[in-house]
Chain A
């Protein structure tokens, strides 16, 4: 235990760093938190979307007129009548906006669940009746579920209307990394391990479904949208553009949000549809998605196929990484292509690999839109790379722990720049690795059918997205005239405990009691502009904005107090709701007196003091834009995660049980340990689902067969082991003033790889697909027995495996020869 931190006020205990009980919990635990579906506005009516049951089809006609005859139906909409009136929105690619999203399918249906029409009625059941009355005539086309089939020259073209800048056919974007010289690394390596890995399509599965209430005021012309979203300004700005109305005429307010995990980090068709209905009717319109709709039309983790190779020297040094990634982003996706950029760039950590050669074809399929999901491409990269590390270590007869210990970043000096371009300001990843392995008894003998596996990652803390040259958050603070504080922020708290975390920062900064601090609901009419809550950015980026705003507020408070007390501001301190002369904490002026002075007795203010106590601060991270060779420091700081899994495999049923799991993280300076541990536990559960059970199951026609919580195997509490070995080894960030690093996604990234490595250790079966279901496990074990082999790759070594088995058969990247550069040609390097 380190010595207790000094109290900056000298009087009040410092709250940052302590497990303050969450301010959010009372409402959540007593059922009084208000989610979007709880909203009931006077005169509110109900909309429902008719969605396509087929995945790929040409639209012959959609006739909403019979719906208008149904009892209670007030209005109906379909795509054709909106063309030319509503502006498409869509993907962000290298600063280019591609308008591939529209409220409804017009000429073609591209995935099951796409919007065909919508009906609004007095009740939700009348709206449903209306939807059933809509006459739809579709000509079904062949579906493409497999992303590699989408690349075939004769594959049906999915997006026919959009001309892409960087791709053709079903390739909608490309990505590459050229760092060092992989060919030279390959030639000089003691071993090069290669494997085709495929990852799964995982759902966000937030319990609070996507939904909104749109309320258009025909007198003021202001459209208020209450929505379950992660970002109010992204929704507001895109919606204003889609509707072609001023941004001042749209107000986005967010009630309690029952999680997003990335699946609510964009605008959706239902938000536009509800807005249109409300503007047409002048009445509030509620539109809540059913669970099946959330599965089919929400966003999912991008599934990938990776042809991955890792070159290792005889001493275990990782000298090169090459990968060809077929990245399935579904029929359309706002963020999908960004996932492969950031997930691969940051996924190279925690190693300083000198030679990296990556190509990716980002393809459309007729499946649900892909996009951000907890980990943002990192879990996919780690799944491939960390298994290759084990494979290479075993080929060289080295201990996987020793190989990782040799390779994880542990520089003599910080900041340290990796060949990939990451600027590492601090890390304890090596200590985390050793502690995690020690916690599960890495060196102890394995019981039969049991195994242990390791995986390490470093996760970005927010990011400068290649398509969005910004990484900012803002906070406005107001010391109210009764001494309470209101915090305004546009970054939605959907499980990150902003009300608690920000209050801890403010309380420490100005000495006000935490119970006096209130976080205002995210509201675009009152909150300063910020990007939203995703990418593990809350504590570090929003927290820094809050810290800066708090410092400015403190300076103003001290200036008034110094004037009144006739001392210098440097002689003053704050604490216990007052400002006092240092050393005399029992005297002083209460904050409410100072605030009242600033508002109501301005003649008593220091000369030239601008009245009222309100400050605002915006923090934009000092991050870089992505280079044309794929390199760059996209994140302000990086959180370390070292995971160690101990699994047991039932040889008779194939069930994989995680019997012990250690997570040792470097989350920098932790504001609230209770909250951060909760984030890690939740992140682990999401990784566990990716590893063992969750996936979208499609039939050959592209229909999802498991679009319900009954059939989709989301992880539940009994599936999660006792997570008693979750520890922090903090290496405070030197880039972030308070030392914080992102917490939200560290728990997810290494999980599939750690479990995959442990399963191999237990059984000799190397899984190359996710998830590792009991079905796959048991069939693999039986096949291994049948073949009489020591090790088996599943499904690659199965008799009926149809994918390429040898490196020589591997496909060439469609993008390999394409020159993606505008001003830089890597070939000449």
Chain B
């Protein structure tokens, strides 16, 4: 680790001002579970760290009047695990409680996971999977972006150098009737090789009206598949696999393609059989 200056603003506005002031050498730090590891190895060496830890409200989970769930960007995985979230929002607790290891979950944050934009992380995959919206504050004001547009590539996001991700907004409960997340990893604390999310909304008669299937891990950013609401789990699985490097014959790609098939089938299957959230 190289020497740096620690800055602890009290407000988001102050944090944004500090980022502007210190330019490219400044980095935002929340839980530090990606950034600190890189700093220890000296693969990055920021001159200033702007901590989100002291900013009031950034680690809070609240519900909007319309039922949307607003999760502060500095909310830790551990806090999410403990949060009693209703309906399918509870998937966020399940996912946050079943990744990495306990020290990482105690420090790591949902916003940090999104900004790291590691293709194998679960939270970005789930955010795209349920069509979450991200709130961003910057010198030019506040803006929102769908998660799918926020993630631009492996380690690349749409966030500007003097912007801060402040919250992840999950749509209100009626948006989906069932959300299922599945992943495959080697060891219990490893990042996912492939993950799949199925978000399903039912019509009044209980048949699926909309199905959103998202695959992550094997591509630089999560991929949302165009799945017909009436498709069976097997059809959705075949569609997903066919869209994943269909011509590649190398072992790692073949393997990921088979995992995509398996995980999509499992998530769609489970979503079909799951009770609604009402």
A interface residues (Cβ-Cβ under 8 A, vs B): 125, 128, 652-655, 693, 713, 716, 718-719, 774-776, 778-779, 782, 799-800
| Contact between A779 and B254, CB atoms less than 8 A apart | yes
Q: Is the CB of B186 within 8 A of A779?
A: no
User: Are B188 and A653 in touch, CB under 8 angstroms?
Assistant: no
Chain A residues with Cβ below 8 Å from B252 are 775
Q: Is the CB of A716 within 8 A of B186?
A: no
Q: Say yes or no: B255 contacts A774, CB within 8 Å.
A: yes
State which of B249, B251, B266 has its C-beta within 8 Å of the C-beta of A776. B251
Q: Is there a chain A Cβ closer than 8 Å to B42's Cβ?
A: yes
Task: State whether B262 touches A652 (Cβ < 8 A).
Answer: yes
B1, B42, B186, B189, most chain A CB atoms within 10 A: B186
Docked complex Cα distance between A125 and B40 (Å): 11
CB-CB under 8 A for A653 and B262, given A774-B186, A800-B249: yes
Instruction: Determine if B251 and A718 form an interchain contact, defined as CB atoms under 8 angstroms apart.
Output: no
Residues of B within 8 A of A778 (CB): 255, 258-259
Residue in chain A with minimal CB distance to B101: A716
Q: In whole Å, how far is A648's beta carbon from the nearest beta carbon of chain B?
A: 16
List B residues 109-158 near A (Cβ within 8 Å).
none
Q: Cβ of A125: which chain B residues have Cβ within 8 Å of it?
A: 1-2
11 example contacts (A-B, Cβ-Cβ < 8 A) are as follows: A125-B2, A128-B42, A652-B262, A652-B266, A718-B187, A774-B184, A778-B258, A778-B259, A779-B251, A782-B254, A799-B249
With A125-B1, A128-B42, A653-B259 already in contact, the answer to whether A693 and B186 are too (CB < 8 A) is yes
What's the minimum C-beta distance from B209 to chain A, rounded to whole angstroms?
28
Q: Which positions 15-54 of chain B face chain A at CB distance < 8 Å?
A: 42
B73 to chain A, nearest CB (A): 24
- Spell out B's residues near A (CB within 8 Å): 1-2, 42, 184, 186-190, 249, 251-252, 254-255, 258-259, 262, 265-266
Assess whether A716 is in contact with B249, with CB atoms less than 8 Å apart.
Answer: no
- Known pairs A716-B189, A779-B251, A779-B258; list 18 more (Cβ under 8 Å): A128-B42, A652-B258, A653-B184, A653-B262, A654-B255, A693-B187, A713-B190, A716-B187, A716-B188, A719-B187, A774-B184, A774-B186, A778-B255, A779-B254, A779-B255, A782-B254, A799-B249, A800-B249
Shortest C-beta distance, A697 to chain B (Å), equals 11
Looking at the assembled complex, report how far the CB atom of B22 sits from the nearest CB atom of chain A, in whole angstroms: 22
Does the CB pair A713–B1 fall under 8 Å?
no
Q: How far is the CB of B32 from chain A (nearest CB, A)?
A: 16
Q: How far is the CA of A748 from the CA of B265 in the complex (A)?
A: 38
Given the complex, which residues of A lie within 8 Å of B187, measured CB to CB?
693, 713, 716, 718-719
Across the interface, name the chain B residue whose C-beta is closest to A781: B258
- In whole Å, how far is A520's beta carbon from the nearest beta carbon of chain B? 37
Q: Are B186 and A713 in contact (CB under 8 A)?
A: yes
Distance in angstroms from B37 CB to nearest chain A CB is 8
- A693 neighbours in B (Cβ, 8 Å): 186-187
A718 touches B258 (CB 8 A): no
Q: A residues within 8 A CB of B188?
A: 716, 718
Give Cα A776 to B250, complex, Å: 11
- A426: min CB distance to chain B, Å: 40
Residues from chain A with Cβ under 8 Å of B2 in the complex? 125
Give CA–CA (A776, B251) in the complex, Å: 7
Query: Residue of B at shortest CB range from A714?
Result: B187
Task: Specify the chain B residue showing the minimal Cβ separation from A783.
Answer: B254
- Rounded to whole angstroms, the CA-CA distance of A779 and B187 in the bound complex is 20
Q: Out of A655, A716, A782, A799, which one reaches B258, CB within 8 Å?
A: A782
A799 to B251, CA, bound (A): 11
Q: Which residues of B lie under 8 Å from residue A775 when comparing CB positions?
A: 251-252, 255
The residue on A at minimum CB distance from B265 is A652
A494 to B176, CA, bound (A): 56
- Give bound CA distance, A774 to B259, whole Å: 10
Q: Which residue from chain B places its CB closest to the CB of A798 in the assembled complex? A: B251
A744 to B258, CA, bound (A): 40
Which residue of chain A is the closest to B191 with respect to CB atoms? A710
Instruction: Give the CA-CA distance A779 to B254 in the complex, in Å.
Output: 7
Chain B: which residue is nearest A782 at the CB level?
Answer: B258
Most-contacted residue by chain B among A128, A652, A719, A800 (CB, 10 A): A652
Could you tell me the distance between the alpha carbons of A779 and B262 in the complex, rounded to whole angstroms? 13
Residues of chain B within 8 A of A800, CB atoms compared: 249
A718 to B98, CA, bound (A): 14
Residues of chain B with a CB closer than 8 A to A652's CB? 258, 262, 265-266
User: Please, which residues of chain B bring their CB within 8 A of the CB of A779?
Assistant: 251, 254-255, 258
Q: Which 9 A-B pairs have the closest CB atoms?
A: A652-B262, A775-B255, A718-B188, A779-B254, A778-B258, A779-B251, A653-B184, A713-B186, A779-B255
With both beta carbons as reference points, the residue of chain A lying nearest to B189 in the complex is identified as A716
Residue of chain A at shortest CB distance from B188: A718
Alpha-carbon distance between A799 and B40 when the two chains are bound, in angstroms: 44
* B267 nearest CB across to chain A (Å): 13
Q: Distance (Å) between the CB of A785 and the closest chain B CB?
A: 11
Which residue of chain A has the shortest Cβ distance to B266 in the bound complex?
A652
Chain B residues near A128 (CB-CB < 8 A): 42
CB neighbours of B255 from chain A (8 A): 654, 774-775, 778-779
> A824 vs B141: C-alpha distance in the bound complex, in angstroms?
88
A716 vs B42: C-alpha distance in the bound complex, in angstroms? 28
Closest to B194 in A: A653
Q: Report B-chain residues with C-beta under 8 Å of the C-beta of A713.
A: 186-187, 190
Docked complex Cα distance between A774 and B251 (Å): 11
Most buried by B among A693, A776, A779, A799: A779
Q: Which residues of A contact B258 (CB under 8 A)?
A: 652, 654, 778-779, 782
CA distance A5 to B1 in the complex (A): 60
Closest Cβ of chain A to B257, distance in Å, is: 9
Note all chain A residues with C-beta closer than 8 A to B265. Answer: 652
Q: Which of chain B's residues have a CB closer than 8 A to the CB of A774?
A: 184, 186, 255
* CA gap between A654 and B186 in the complex, in Å: 11
Complex CA gap A349/B83 in Å reads 58
Q: How far is the CA of A799 from the CA of B250 in the complex (A)?
A: 11
Give the distance to chain B from A661, nearest Cβ to Cβ, in Å.
18
Task: Report how far A719 CA is from B255 CA in the complex, Å.
Answer: 21
CB distance from A781 to the nearest CB of B (A): 9
Inter-chain CA distance A654–B255, complex, in Å, is: 9
**Set of chain A residues within 8 Å of B186, measured between Cβ atoms:** 693, 713, 774
Nearest neighbor of B3 in chain A, beta-carbon distance: A125
Which residues of chain B have C-beta atoms less than 8 A from A654's C-beta?
A: 255, 258
Among residues of B, the one whose C-beta sits closest to the C-beta of A777 is B255
Separation of A775 and B251 alpha carbons in the complex (Å): 7
A774 to B189, CA, bound (A): 16
Residues of A within 8 A of B266 (CB): 652
Q: How far is the CB of B241 from chain A (nearest CB, A)?
A: 11
Residues of A within 8 A of B189 (CB): 716
Per the bound structure, the CA–CA distance linking A693 and B259 in Å amounts to 18
A663–B184 CA distance with the chains assembled, in angstroms? 30
Shortest CB distance A336–B (Å)? 29
Q: Which residues from chain B contact A782 at a C-beta distance below 8 Å?
A: 254, 258
CA distance A652 to B261 in the complex (A): 9
Q: In the complex the two chains form, what is the Cα distance from A587 to B195 in whole Å?
A: 75
Q: Which residue of B lies closest to A652 (CB)?
A: B262
A716 — which chain B residues lie within 8 A by C-beta? 187-189
Please, how many angstroms separate the alpha-carbon atoms of A782 and B254 in the complex?
9
Q: How far is the CB of B254 from chain A (nearest CB, A)?
A: 5
Whole-angstrom distance between the Cβ of B252 and the nearest chain A Cβ: 7
Q: Smallest Cβ distance from A714 to chain B, in angstroms?
A: 9
Contacts of A718 in B (CB 8 A): 187-188
**Complex Cα distance A355/B190, Å?**
47
**Residues in A neighbouring B190, C-beta threshold 8 A:** 713
Q: Which A residue sits closest to B262, measured CB to CB? A: A652
| Bound Cα distance A128, B190 (Å) | 30
Q: Which residues of A contact B184 (CB under 8 A)?
A: 653, 655, 774
Q: Report A434 CB to chain B, min CB distance, Å.
A: 34
Task: Please give me the residue from chain A that is nearest to B252 by CB atom.
Answer: A775
Nearest A residue to B256 via CB reads A775
Q: How far is the CA of A693 from the CA of B188 in the complex (A)?
A: 13
Q: In the bound complex, what is the Cα–Cα distance between A778 and B249 (angstroms)?
A: 14
Cα distance, A776 to B186, chains bound together (Å) = 13
B251 to chain A, nearest CB (A): 5
Closest chain A residue to B249 by CB distance? A800
